[in-house]
Structure 1
Amino acid sequence: MRITVEDITVTLGGRDVLSDVGLIAAEGEIAGLVGPNGSGKSTLLRTVYRHLRPHAGRVLLADRDVRSMAPAQAARHIAALPQERGSDFEFTVREVVAMGRTPFKRAFGGDDERDHATVAEALERVGLQAYAEHRFAELSGGERQRVLLARAFAQQPDVLVLDEPTNHLDVQHQVELLALLREQRRTTLISLHDLNAAASLCDRLHVLHDGALVASGTPLEVLTPDLLAMVFGVRAAVVEHPLTGDPLIAFDHRKTMPAPPAEESPVTV
């Protein structure tokens, strides 16, 4: 399913955290949100999965406003992995992943064979089938991350909304996670700090800066030296990755650059 963000404005504490932001994640597309801390990425994702109500604008799932849907109905279509992740669940890994099946159950309904199979498949996808009976609270941060991703997979959504899913993962598991997301070809809206990971994974990037959308396009169109200097305040060269052909950003770690005025912002649509 397609996700459309139409002219979203979110006001928190009397301040516009997002201002008139619009973008589309097409069906089967991996759309990335990038930008500095405080640019509004998490706020936008929370609005998409209904944790926040926008002051203006709307989010459409296909052609339907997600705010018009009952929570359980929306959860059958949209699964979220937010940054705020519980660490004190007194449940086993299997029980946490099984929570992803909740939107499909009647009140007090138990797990059936399909639920068990779906949970087992989700755990296998993230490489944690051997941890099924471990206590969630006893896992490392990276392991918890993978469990919560498995919970999202168990939800079998049309749309995945992921906020910094590679946090706490070592390099091997970061690579495996990004490969897994790429293989699924499920409509995905994802925020990433790692710009090279975003360039490798995403079909389209949307750049947020100070709550505004300043650029949209393919990674090659968006990740230019001028934009990196303007938005992130860094000197960088963009070259071709020798293994994948994706854009590869080589940062100058010795010098930062002052950001030019906002009106000089390059915008690609």
Structure 2
Amino acid sequence: MRIDIEELRVSYAGRDVVAGVHLMAAAGEIVGLVGPNGSGKSTVLRTVYRHLRPTAGRVLLDGTDLRTLSPGRTARHVAALPQERAADFELTVHEVVAMGRTPYKRAFAGEDRTDREAVAGALAAVGMAGRGALRFSTLSGGERQRVLLARAFAQDPDVLVLDEPTNHLDVRHQVELLALLRDRARTTVISLHDLNAAASLCDRLHVLHAGRLVASGPPRAVLTPELLAEVFGVRAAVTEHPLTGDPLIAFDHRWAPDRPPARDRS
């Protein structure tokens, strides 16, 4: 399914935190939102999974305004992994993931075979197979992240909305997650701080700065040294990844805009 965000504006206390954002994700496309902290990425995503009502503009799912759909119907199409999550669930891992099946169940209905298979498949996909009996509250931060992602997968949505899903994951599980998202072939709108991960994963990037959309396009066209300097305030070279051919950003960690040049020690 296709997502269109049209002239989105979100205001808090009379101040626009997102202003006039217009972007889209085609069916099956992985679209990334990147930008500095406070640029509006999470705010945009919250409007897509209906945690936040925009001040103006709208979000369309295959041409239908999401606000005209019931919450239950929306949940059958859109699953989210937000940044803000409950610190603890006094539930088992299986029970947390099974919450993703709620949009398909009548009130008080128990699990059926389809639900159990969906939960087992989702746990296997995130590397948590056989751990359904564990208490969610006993897991590490990275394990919790994977369980919550499994909950979104168990929901079997047409659209995934993921806000910094690689947080708390070690390098191996970050790589596995990105590969899993590519293989899922779901329309995905994702925010990432890791620009190299975004360049590798996403078909298209939308760059936000101070609540406004400042660039859109394929990663190779968007992630230029000039944009990185202007938006992120860093000096970087963009080369080609020797293994994948994706854009690879090499940051100059010795440079800062307010620091004088280093002395020549030769």
Shift in Å, 1:256: 2.6
**2:56 corresponds to which letter in structure 1?**
A
Alpha-carbon distance between aligned partners in 1 of 2:253 and 2:209, rounded to the nearest angstrom = 21
Instruction: Give deviations 1:168-210, integer Å, cap 9, x for gaps.
Output: 0000000000000011111000000000000000000000000
For the 8 Å contact 1:33–1:207, the answer to whether it is kept is yes
SS of the aligned residue for 1:255 comes to coil
- Note the C-alpha offset of 1:131: 1.3
Rounded Cα–Cα distance in structure 2 between residues aligned with 1:20 and 1:247: 29
- Find the aligned partners of 1:82 and 1:220 in 2 and give their Cα distance: 27
1:14 Cα offset (Å): 1.9
Q: Any idea what the Cα deviations from partners look like across 1:78-110, whole Å, max 9, x if unmatched?
A: 000000122210000000000000001111111
The percent identity for this pair of structures is: 73
2:132 matched to 1:102? no
- Kindly state the Cα deviation for residue 144 of structure 1 after the two structures are TM-superposed: 0.2
TM-score w.r.t. structure 1 length? 0.95
Q: Give the superposition deviation at 1:257.
A: 3.6
Pairwise CA RMSD: 0.7
Q: Which residue of 2 aligns with 1:3?
A: 3
Check whether the contact 1:92–1:134 (CA below 8 A) recurs between aligned residues.
Answer: yes
What's the CA shift for 1:130? 2.1
Distance in 2 (CA, whole Å) between partners of 1:13 and 1:49 is 22
Structure 1 residue 12: Cα displacement: 1.2
Structure 2, unaligned runs of 5 or more:
259-266
Give the count of matched residue pairs.
258
Q: Which amino acid aligns with 2:48?
A: V
User: Distance in 2 between the 1:128 and 1:204 partners?
Assistant: 30
Gaps of 5+ in 1: 259-269
Provide the residue aligned with 2:87 in structure 1: 87
Rounded Cα–Cα distance in structure 2 between residues aligned with 1:12 and 1:142:
32
Report the residue type matching 2:51 in the other structure.
H
Runs of 4+ in 1 over 3 A off after TM superposition: none
The Cα shift of 1:15 comes to: 1.0
Aligned-partner Cα distance in 1 for 2:20–2:142:
35
Q: Taking structure 2 as the reference length, what is the TM-score of the superposition?
A: 0.96
| Counterpart-to-counterpart distance in 2, 1:12 and 1:157 | 30
**Structure 2 match to 1:65:** 65
Matched, 1:44 2:57: no
